[in-house]
Structure 1
Amino acid sequence: MRKTDNLFARLAIFTVGLLIMSLGIVLMIISDFGASPWDVLHVGLYYQFGLTIGTWSILVGFTILGSSAIMMKEWPQFGAYLNMILIGLFIDMYMLLPFFTEPVSWLGKIMMFTIGMVIYAYGMGIYLSAQLGAGPRDSFMLALQEKMGWKVSNARRMMEVTVLIIGWLLGGPVFIGTIIFSIAAGSFIGLALPQCRKITDKILKKRTLDKEIDRSANI
């Protein structure tokens, strides 16, 4: 099945995945138990220069996409731009909800952070399963890997350590959860992605079959 098949359904799955992933991001930030390295940077920029966390996510993503385009001498996939914009919008939307408040107890902080990380992993699994392209940060990671000859793991580690240091210097929320995320997030995503791909493939195959039945009935 070609990626162009069921484009509307893929866009819907892609958007739902980003909506879920953004919820995970916000829960980790609000938990006050730490955030992912990129979100440490976004929050640090927000603390120092204003705007919103979501706006900084978009601006940083735009800068990274531009760098990727220059390095690879080609425009990133459409999904990378959509990813950049929607995640920023969704983050700001969730941050405005009044019932999302920082937990008082340590147990509450840990629970909110853990739930956020699981939701993040499954949201990423869902949006990636739509196969409309990776986000700007992953695009830049692949550009570094190709141009510098590094392993993907080394390129990702270099990126995350760099943005983490910058975010920390800007006052971003570095704490125990940041370390946990850096160590465990890959494993969570590794578990979530195959499950999400199976569900997405079933949905897309069913829609394709339904379309074929409709065409046959109209002949």
Structure 2
Amino acid sequence: MSRQLKWRWVFFFSGLLTMALGITLTIKGRLIGTGPWDVLHIGLFQQFGLSIGNWAILTGFFIILGTSLYLKEWPRLGTWLNMLLIGSFIDLFNWLLPETNIFIAELFYFLAGFIVLSIGCGLYISAELGAGPRDSVMMIIVEKFGGSVRMARAIMEVTAAAVGFLLGGPVGFGTVILALGTGYIIQPSLHYFRRKLYQLIEE
């Protein structure tokens, strides 16, 4: 494996692990409001069983099918790994992290998760080994209609939250913050990690 590819995989897996940790932290802080996609996953979990991570995998699978038909190309390996690993890591961290009913603790979980998941997203996308199912849609919106990553992500996540809410998923003011705010961290972190990756490759 070349030095360049090795560092790309390191960034990719580190980013997935970081993002899954951030997502789980926001789920643990659900009193504040979970992330839009997790509103959907929790709503599906409450209605049909399985686990939150399993629903993250299943919705990711159907999104991959949709984007593949639109792009008329088979997804990259990284996209499939993202679909499988994020859901698996969510269930793992959900088992490891303690539950709490204390408002201050849930607020801490939420704020930490908001920052961690956004940084993790920028980290794994910087590897350019295949965006995850949801982030593939985000990039399609940007390429097709223009605008920023922030706007594309906001449109996508507001839609997911609305469907999740109808299924009984937990929505709070934190959901709005995650829907509208993560792009403000993802965009600069993506630029930072891209520069860092190129520096490591060229050393």
When normalised by structure 2's length, the TM-score is 0.88
Contact 1:29 1:173 in 2 (8 A): no
Contact 2:33 2:175 in 1 (8 A): yes
Q: CA distance change for structure 1 residues 100 and 192 in 2, over 3 Å: closer, same or farther?
A: farther
Contact 2:154 2:180 in 1 (8 A): no
Match of 2:65 in 1: 66
For 1:37-116, what aligned pairs fall within 5 Å after superposition?
A: 37-97=36-96, 99-105=97-103, 107-116=104-113
Deviation at residue 157 of structure 1 after TM alignment: 4.2
Q: CA distance change for structure 1 residues 108 and 86 in 2, over 3 Å: closer, same or farther?
A: same
Contact 2:34 2:175 in 1 (8 A): yes
- Deviation readout 1:17-51 (Å, 9 max, x if unpaired): 10011000000011121122111111111111111
Contact 1:71 1:143 in 2 (8 A): no
Counterparts of 2:62 and 2:76, CA distance in 1: 15
Counterparts of 2:77 and 2:108, CA distance in 1: 35
Contact 1:83 1:135 in 2 (8 A): yes
Give the letter aligned to residue 173 of structure 2.
I
Match of 1:213 in 2: none
Instruction: Tell which structure's C-alpha radius of gyration is larger.
Output: 1
Match of 1:214 in 2: none
Contact 1:37 1:161 in 2 (8 A): yes
Match of 2:26 in 1: 28
Counterparts of 1:129 and 1:143, CA distance in 2: 16
Return 69-78 or 23-32, whichever deviates more: 69-78
Choose the corresponding residue for 1:150, options 141, 145, 164.
145
Deviation at residue 152 of structure 1 after TM alignment: 5.1
Aligned pair count reads: 199
Q: CA distance change for structure 1 residues 45 and 113 in 2, over 3 Å: closer, same or farther?
A: same
Deviation at residue 115 of structure 1 after TM alignment: 0.8
Q: CA distance change for structure 1 residues 165 and 126 in 2, over 3 Å: closer, same or farther?
A: same
Q: CA distance change for structure 1 residues 113 and 141 in 2, over 3 Å: closer, same or farther?
A: same
The residue matched to 1:59 in structure 2 has which SS?
helix
Match of 2:189 in 1: 192
Counterparts of 1:83 and 1:170, CA distance in 2: 25
Choose the corresponding residue for 1:181, options 178, 189, 199.
178
The unaligned stretches of length 5 or more in structure 1 are 207-219
Match of 1:119 in 2: 116
When normalised by structure 1's length, the TM-score is 0.82
Contact 2:153 2:183 in 1 (8 A): no
Contact 1:67 1:140 in 2 (8 A): no
Give the letter aligned to residue 64 of structure 2.
L
Give the letter aligned to residue 172 of structure 2.
F
Q: CA distance change for structure 1 residues 145 and 62 in 2, over 3 Å: closer, same or farther?
A: same
Counterparts of 2:140 and 2:125, CA distance in 1: 18
**Identity percentage over the alignment?**
43
Counterparts of 1:157 and 1:9, CA distance in 2: 30
Q: CA distance change for structure 1 residues 124 and 155 in 2, over 3 Å: closer, same or farther?
A: closer
- Deviation readout 1:111-164 (Å, 9 max, x if unpaired): 221111111111112111212121111223444566xx5345665444323221
- Deviation readout 1:70-102 (Å, 9 max, x if unpaired): 1121112221111111101111110111x4223
Counterparts of 1:122 and 1:158, CA distance in 2: 20
Give the letter aligned to residue 82 of structure 1.
L
